[in-house]
Amino acid sequence: MIPAHIFQFHRARDLATWLPDLPKRYGTYLVLIRGGDRLLELAGYFDHHDRLPYQRRGYWHLYTGAGYEWGRRVRHHLSGNTYKSNLRCTLEALETVCQAISFSGITPWTGDGDERLTEWIIRNAVIGACECSDPKTLEKAILESTASPLNIDQRKWDPFGRRLIEIRAEALKINLKKG
Domain ranges of the chain: 4-178
Distances in whole angstroms, Cα of residue 107 to Cα of each of 87, 113, 122, 127, 141:
18, 16, 11, 18, 32
Supply the pTM of this predicted model. 0.94
Question: Along the 179 residues of the chain, how does pLDDT read in single tens digits?
Answer: 788 899 999 999 999 888 888 889 999 999 999 999 999 999 999 999 988 999 999 999 999 999 999 999 999 999 988 888 999 999 999 999 998 988 887 766 666 778 889 999 999 999 999 999 999 999 999 999 999 999 998 888 899 999 999 999 999 999 888 86
Return the pLDDT at 1: 73
Any alpha helices (H) in the chain, and if so which ranges?
12-16, 36-43, 70-79, 86-98, 113-124, 135-145, 159-178
